[in-house]
Amino acid sequence: MPMADESDPRVEPMKEQEGFAIIPDRWKVDFLASMGELSRFYIELKENARLMGTRCPQCGSLYFWPRSWCHDCYVDCDWVEMQPRGSITVFSRVEISLSDMRRDVPFFQGGVQLEGARYPVIAILKTTDPAALKAGMPVRAEFLPPGERTGRPRDFYFVPDE
């Protein structure tokens, strides 16, 4: 077990507030999480800037985000490369963010349905003309440069497809 560092609240002394004892504490848990049967999505995204979805061989549903089996037909899906184009289903301007995304506020986030996909996905929208954004607007995916991609979904975002 590594020793707690100096900033670790778990070694700070108790504080008192209104006569009650306040014990500083922290839960910190690290993961090395396997993406398992979904791995190809992350690998293709990072290595080749490709958006991978899956298709049900029985009902033809096209899933993006990919899922490895169809929840209607209960059969395994096949990997397919998605066209990096779709349309906005809904969007809003985010004014407050509590994650690392706070450095980007205000930013636009919304739903984007890729061409042929059964469901929309949550997505970052980037535009030089915010007033022109509207539901139904065609968008295309852009990718961070290879050196900046980490294999996570935010390696891509959508821009108006003009």
Residue 10 found at the interface with another protein (CB under 8 A): no
CA separation, residue 64 to residues 38, 76, 115, 132 (Å):
12, 15, 10, 26
Stretch that binds another protein, among 13-21, 51-59, 74-82, 141-149 (CB under 8 A): 13-21
Closest among 137, 133, 143 to 82, alpha carbons compared: 143
CA separation, residue 98 to residues 103, 104, 105 (Å):
10, 11, 10
Residues 144 and 152: their CA atoms lie apart, in Å, by: 11
Stretch that binds another protein, among 52-60, 79-87, 120-128, 138-146 (CB under 8 A): 120-128
Kindly tell me which residue out of 60, 138, 152, 161 binds another protein, with binding defined by CB under 8 A: 152
How many positions of this chain bind another protein (CB under 8 A)? 34
Residues that bind another protein (CB under 8 A): 17-18, 20, 25, 27, 33, 35, 38, 65, 89-90, 92-101, 109-111, 119-124, 135, 152-154
